[in-house]
Structure 1
């Protein structure tokens, strides 16, 4: 066992079978306890991935005789993982993270004395990165991009002091605050991640 993993909070064990997971988990527990550490039984959980056509192996995963709870989704290194391999939970989580950043700065973003361009710059440097964290490797569908776009436009309209009832076009709002569509930024993140742009 590498020493650098002794201090890791988010450790993942991957196996092809339930019995293999139980064996590795028990080995991990014994190794940690031999070094003076303790594996938290209340925080340990497992997820069986269902994105293969393999048959289901019944039974529970246990740790030192105690059954480990099974989860359909869980957070790992800032991302929400789902057993089917979907990203719906992760997209929702990122949008909520964006709104959390928005609420923290609402006093400035909703202040009519602050110029729209400055608010747009603040949005680009704090809120959008929270919404797009980890998005470069998402297998996005149109509905995911639409969810991100709707959340972004709602924020930008509030920056300008408008609602949809004011019937101001999205392009006009974007021009006022100097913010490109989130779809374009998502594409740039992916291209940068693949090494195609600097």
Structure 2
């Protein structure tokens, strides 16, 4: 279900779509049973946590590659064609990473120890959203 989730842009609506545990047990929101209890019953891992962990690890991997592949160049690319659309800007793939690691996250990802310690904060952010 989450194969290839690394390039997804994480937004709260997407995280909430993965809440199928209630359907498995035949529960509704009216039953007032917390997601933690449902996860304990089904023994299913939290998809929000798993997806955010995969994305964080993949972002670090892409930033550490030095063999000239296109991944790092795509992360730094800024299109300058046409007009901006009206309304709120769309969430970009890197926006969530910048919240946790700061604007220079691409350089910071090269330090594996530091990147892994920040990854726990990033995963926790999406775990709290998914509850």
TM-score by length of 2: 0.39
**Structure whose residues are more often strand by fraction:** 1
TM-score by length of 1: 0.27
Q: Considering only CA atoms, is the larger Rg found in Structure 1 or Structure 2?
A: 1
**Structure whose residues are more often helix by fraction:** 2
